[in-house]
Amino acid sequence: MKLKVSGISMAVAASELATCVGTKVVGAKSLEEMVSKLKKPRRVMMLVKAGEAVDKFIDALVSKLLT
């Protein structure tokens, strides 16, 4: 199975994320860009601090995944 990972981090510059040499990690500058790089069926793993931030991120992500 070939896996490709697209990621976004609010704490790490996309250029740094994209420089994971030797991996299949592809950085994104926005949530829209990250979602556009995911092939269907999409699988998403989130690492978000618990609380209101989770709900906001899920809402934003779901709206992008449904478009």
Task: Between 58 and 4, name the one with better pLDDT.
Answer: 58
Domain that includes residue 25, residue range? 5-65
CA distance 52 to 32: 21
* Sequence letter at residue 60: A
Whether residue 5 is predicted with pLDDT greater than 60 in this model: the reply is: yes
Domains identified in the chain, total number: 1
- Higher pLDDT among residues 51 and 1, named by residue: 51
pLDDT tens-place string over residues 10-62: 666 655 655 566 677 777 778 888 888 888 888 887 777 788 888 888 899 99
Global confidence as pTM: 0.64
Predicted pLDDT at 40: 85
- What is the token pair recorded at 66? 């449904």
